[in-house]
Chain A
Amino acid sequence: MSVLKVDYSQVSQFEDWVKGEYEATVVGYEMKQAKSGSNMVILTYEVRDDVPQPSNKGQKINYDNFVVSEKSMWRFQALSMAVGVPEGTDFESFTEWAKSMQNKQVRLIVGLREHNGRYYPQVDGFKSPEVGKPDSGSIDIKDDDVPF
């Protein structure tokens, strides 16, 4: 009985990351404490697979840390602006902020960091998305299409 069927199409998951700008969606968050003791929001992004990208369509960019400290606050502001949170919006907690980022579209400026000889994506900055949202789930059924 076969234990492995060679499938070349799966090789693409090891595609090298390329520096550049990626259209992405915020797809997850975690609240943790940094080594410094500061609270930290860790966001996960998914590179959209429905628009051209420098590399790695559909792959995740993990571990983007937003440390809650005075000198890192610019990252919270930058992402909020990029995803279109109205100026003056108040968040009661960083968890609330992280939740509100979920499913938002953003253009990530991605650099690379080296670790043990491999290169991983690192989010260096944020821009507003340059392409429209993917199919948001609108439903094309009119009242005339159903009897009741």
Chain B
Amino acid sequence: MHPKEIIASFQKCGADIKLDETGVTVVNASKVSELTINYAKEYKERIINQLKGDYSAKKHAILSTNDQLIDCFLNKPVNNPDLIVSFLINNPDCCELIIKRMNLLKENGWQYDECTANYENEETDQLAEQLFNRAMAGRQKKGA
């Protein structure tokens, strides 16, 4: 989910997520459910980047594409599963890159049942961009 959507869902309930010295803070937290707060916590780093203005549409496209690739690996529901499987079958080296990225995320403390947002770093971001570019290239080739 785009961090903008998470922030908007808090605002709809009369709460808000704001930057503070320690990262972010929730204003009027009692107006949102614990479940919603826990969900937002998983996306904390992306929310911080969004509030700082550092989360571009391109960045979201890259990270959400990689979220889908990992979800597909973990047998979780994804959009357009056939397209993803076809991409993986035709690009086995990309499967290796996904596994490499997942290992790096694991080393940073990521658990399989949570979003990777709080465990990403420069190295995982580079791999994410590489995978995104490969997937886009494959799509363009198909569309040509």
Q: Is A10 an interface residue (CB 8 A)?
A: no
Q: Is B43 an interface residue (CB 8 A)?
A: no
Q: Are A140 and B83 in contact (CB under 8 A)?
A: no
> Majority SS of interface residues in chain A?
loop
Nearest residue (CB) in A for B68 is A148
Q: Are B136 and A137 in contact (CB under 8 A)?
A: no
> Majority SS of interface residues in chain B?
helix
Interface residues of A in 129-146 (CB under 8 A from B): 136-141, 145-146
Nearest chain B CB to A47 CB, angstrom units: 14
Q: Are B139 and A141 in contact (CB under 8 A)?
A: no
| Chain A residues within 8 Å of B, Cβ to Cβ | 26-29, 99, 102-103, 136-141, 145-148
A residues near B132, Cβ cutoff 8 Å? 147
Nearest chain B CB to A140 CB, angstrom units: 5
Q: Complex Cα distance A139/B55, Å?
A: 11
Q: Give the size category of B's interface with A.
A: 20 to 34
Q: Are A28 and B83 in contact (CB under 8 A)?
A: no
Q: Are A147 and B65 in contact (CB under 8 A)?
A: yes
Q: Complex Cα distance A138/B139, Å?
A: 25
Known contacts A147-B139, A148-B65, A148-B87, then 12 further A-B pairs from the complex at CB < 8 Å, ordered by chain A residue: A27-B28, A99-B14, A102-B31, A137-B4, A139-B57, A139-B60, A141-B2, A145-B57, A145-B61, A147-B83, A147-B138, A148-B68
Q: Are B61 and A29 in contact (CB under 8 A)?
A: no
Q: Are B14 and A27 in contact (CB under 8 A)?
A: yes
4 nearest A-B residue pairs (beta carbon): A147-B135, A102-B14, A137-B4, A137-B8
A residues near B5, Cβ cutoff 8 Å? 137, 139
Interface residues of B in 51-65 (CB under 8 A from A): 57-58, 60-61, 64-65
